[in-house]
A and B are shown apart, each in its own frame.
Chain A
Amino acid sequence: MPFAITASCCSDAQCVSVCPVGCIHPAPGEPGFGTSEILHIDPAACIDCGACADACPVNAIFPVDKLAGPDREYAEINASYYTDHDDVPPGRAPYPFVPRLRAGLRVAVVGTGPAGMYTVRDLLGRTECEITVFDALPTPGGLLRSGVAPDHPETKRIQHGFDLALRHPRVRFVGGVEVGRDVSIADLEGAFDAVFLASGARRPRRLGVPGEDSPGVVPALDVVTWAGGVPGRDSSPIPELGSAGTARAVIVGTGNVALDVARLLTLRPEDLGRTDAADRALDVLRARPIRDVVVLGRGDSSRAAYTQAEFRTLHHVPGLEVRVVEADAPFVDSPPPTETRVTFLFGSSISRVDGDGPLTVHLDRAGDGTALAADLLVTSIGHDVEPFDELHHDPSGALRHDAGRVRPGLYATGWLKRGATGGIGANRACAQESVDSFLRDATDDALPPRAAERADLLARLKKSGAVVDLRGARAIDRRERLDGERVGRPRVKITSLDELLATARRRAPRR
């Protein structure tokens, strides 16, 4: 009885590296790796040893005879990959490039989301460098902490491996420091032999239609970070319209983030209440202000941006009716749903948004116009990089780089480098590429000399601001988990910056 990989697969291929028979595909380097939604175990070759299941950072792998509920379909999904692809090469991954470097190298990594943390892990493995990791927030994790949907707790488990890297004796965590605001890239380049920027891409793309700046039109990132607990986002993005409201939200975009928002708005309060969603969001969503979600996609359903795994997940949300209106089908605005409903309206593009209080969203469909009344319009059409003043960006915000090298000594990784595409696992190979560029520069003696002392820089930062070290971050983590344990939740997030800092300072006594 073989094993099978299920929906929460993050595609970082750690399973591939432990499989004794090479039965997991597509593997790194093979066609399809990076675009395939999940990885697949070949049931004909699997020997049932379970090494992949133990190594999987998100607990996505189970024996086929132990699959239950929505996961059962994955037995077939894994198997059919191999009937659909007969060109699966056995190949061997090349040994990593490990050059001899001089001693005492100091590297800075900016950002502790997956991009930054895969970079840290690669550097820890292939070099003896001392690594200082910065994050704007007191809590590490980036989008892994605040952006992964609350009802996908398994995905967040990958943070354990990243936490272990943060605890490595050669790594120092400096939280509460934002590049641009608290320290410049030039400062970092001066104090470190190399700097890796992994700060992501968080400028939401705009629709470019009239009315998109009205209240009631919000980017998906605002909804996600509000429910994800990011400090400073206390106000609810959902307008309080009471009886004047329509209980409907329109979401523009069909990616996984759009589906995350759809589920957030329509999950039953008791189910959402068992997750790590921020209390400020639970308080609002408990009243179920939104029951009807319409997701707009421009093309037809074959061009939808969501992964099949996430689309399937939608069908397993209790009480949620899922409706798909194809691009060429007429849309009839039906009566309100029994409980909750999500309707995919393909072939639609927004022409303008009117109104105050309930919005009127004007659509173009198959050449005709329609209008939808909604309380909330969420734009989920992707993100661009927030440009750094000190660097060269394209007009879209994209950073100019060559295999991750911005210039010798300065590297980029993650969404900052690739643009805002790709899931968690995509960052692993991306980080390796950028680290390769750094290693080549280091061996070619191309790294600019350090001009300042790291200790001085860190001392300056500590004096001027609210810096949190790893002990403080762990104190926050401990407190959140303990608070969660008391009420049967994975954690209760602290969302006030003051409280985060106070918890960090009030840390537990040394063992």
Chain B
Amino acid sequence: MTITDRSRPDVGSEEVAQRLMRSAALKSHDPLVEIDWDAPLDPSLYGFSPEWSTLYGTDYWNELDDAARIDLTRHEAASIMSTGIWFEMILQQMMLRDQFLGRYEGQEFQWALTEIADECRHSIMFARGADKLVGRSYYPRKHVQHLSRLLNHIGNHEWAYGSILVAEEILDVLQRGCMDDERVLPLVRQINAIHVLEESRHMRFAREEMRDALAGAGRARREASGHLIAVVAYFIVTSLVSPQVYADAGLDRTRAKHEAKHNGHFHAMLRTSCVHLMEFLDECGLLTRNATRIYRRVHML
């Protein structure tokens, strides 16, 4: 039909930033005051939906009793939150660099700082959450830590925002199901709900920044960026649950690590949840052959 008058989406970072600012004013959270940090943890409740445990569905899982499973998921949740902090701090640094001496009166600048502020609060929230759950936090392997320092300093444009998007999408898929799962600790459910809600705005912004950065980009650039973003995704996924988690949960670390690595259930959960991310990357021309190979290795595709 001829529609000379067409509906259109927001286009460009200024329009998107403006809407997101309004959205943030409409509904934002302060986890420090909204979450009851002093409430005791019900011992019968999980740290995460069991279906999202890296061991769910394996022989090892089937041998564990409920208490062991609960303990495992609490440690896994703490590890995922720790990975969240690590990544959010990279994100903050990349965005601060991007906006340093930027257009202060622009919506993009003001939104970017809003996002950085969100991430600060999320990091504190995760830090407290991990502490309350298991009394410790987790870190990625040393060489990954060094690589991430590099990303801090040189991540730019679609590489930066692509990495941000991938990290946030992965965390989002893990946390989303737990939000309404009555078997999960209310503390974790609240943390996840706040994160999923505020993160949705960050992801919208990251997508628009990527579209902007890639407009008119040639094949060589898409190949390079596609590959780099996939590499970042690889390190995030493989850092989510530190092997130390299994030891801390009282399990045989070697056996748990092995069974988790070959756990088809976890792979399927990741794959089904990453469909939209993969479609978006494809839309941007970033799902190159090299990138596809990497995403398959970490079971995002």
Contacts and interface: CB of A to CB of B under 8 A. Distances in A.
Interface of A: 1, 6, 14, 17-18, 20-21, 47-51, 53-55, 62-63, 66-71, 90-92, 95-96, 98, 100-101, 121, 124-128, 151, 160-161, 164, 168-169, 263, 267-268, 271, 313, 316-318
Interface stretch (B8-16, B85-93, B108-116): B8-16
Nearest to B267: A128
6 contacts: A62-B8, A69-B3, A98-B265, A128-B267, A160-B279, A168-B301
Interface in B159-186: 176-177, 179-181
A164 B9 contact: no
Given A1-B22, A18-B276, A169 B265 contact: no
Contacts of A161: 275, 279
Nearest to A69: B5
Contacts of B141: none
B287 to A, nearest CB: 8
A96 B1 contact: no
Contacts of A17: 276
B174 to A, nearest CB: 12
B207 A54 contact: yes
A49 B204 contact: yes
A316 B22 contact: no
Given A62-B9, A164-B278, A47 B51 contact: no
Contact of B196 (A20, A55, A317): A20
B203 interface: yes
A90 B180 contact: yes
A100 B19 contact: no
B276 A66 contact: no
For the complex of A and B, list the 6 residue pairs with the smallest distance between their C-beta atoms, beginning with the closest.
A125-B272, A69-B5, A92-B180, A48-B23, A49-B200, A20-B200
B301 A66 contact: no
Contacts of B278: 164
Nearest to B289: A511
Contact of B197 (A21, A101, A160): A21
Contacts of A62: 7-9
Nearest to B274: A125
B149 interface: no
Contact of B20 (A49, A66, A90, A263): A49
Nearest to B23: A48
A306 to B, nearest CB: 15
B292 interface: yes
Contacts of A71: 7
B271 A50 contact: no
B268 interface: yes
Contacts, number: 125
Nearest to A319: B2
A54 B7 contact: no
A143 to B, nearest CB: 20
Contacts of B292: 169
B131 to A, nearest CB: 26
A369 to B, nearest CB: 36
A48 B275 contact: no
A128 B264 contact: yes
B296 A151 contact: no
A100 B16 contact: no
A267 B2 CA distance: 9
Contacts of B22: 1, 48
Nearest to B199: A20
A98 B207 contact: no
Nearest to A125: B272
Given A98-B268, A271-B2, 9 more contacts: A47-B23, A49-B197, A50-B19, A63-B9, A69-B4, A95-B51, A128-B264, A151-B1, A317-B2
A1 B301 contact: no
Contact of A47 (B8, B16, B200): B200
A198 to B, nearest CB: 19
B181 A164 contact: no
Contacts of A317: 1-2
Given A55-B276, A92-B180, A98-B268, A316 B19 contact: no
Interface string B1-42: 111111111100000100110110011000000000000000
B3 A66 contact: no
A47 B197 contact: yes
B122 interface: no
A90 B2 CA distance: 39
B162 to A, nearest CB: 15
Nearest to B28: A47
Interface string B32-58: 000000000000000001010000010
Contacts of A160: 279, 282-283
Interface in B81-112: none
A370 B276 CA distance: 55
Contacts of B280: 54
B274 to A, nearest CB: 9
B1 A263 contact: yes
B57 A100 contact: yes
B202 to A, nearest CB: 9
B5 A1 contact: no
Contacts of B271: 124-125
A49 B279 contact: no
B197 A20 contact: yes
Contact of A50 (B181, B204, B275, B279): B204
Nearest to A313: B1
A375 to B, nearest CB: 24
B269 interface: yes
A1 B1 contact: no
B201 interface: yes
B82 to A, nearest CB: 22
A69 B199 CA distance: 32
Nearest to A95: B51
A22 to B, nearest CB: 8
B84 to A, nearest CB: 16
Contact of B7 (A67, A267, A318): A67
Interface string B259-271: 0000011011101
B199 to A, nearest CB: 8
A70 B2 CA distance: 11
B1 A271 contact: yes
Nearest to B169: A18
Interface string B240-257: 000000000000000000
A401 B287 CA distance: 39
Interface core residue of A47, A91, A164, A267 (most chain B CB under 10 Å): A47
A125 B20 contact: no
B3 A50 contact: no
Contacts of B9: 50, 53, 62-63, 66
Contacts of B201: 47, 49
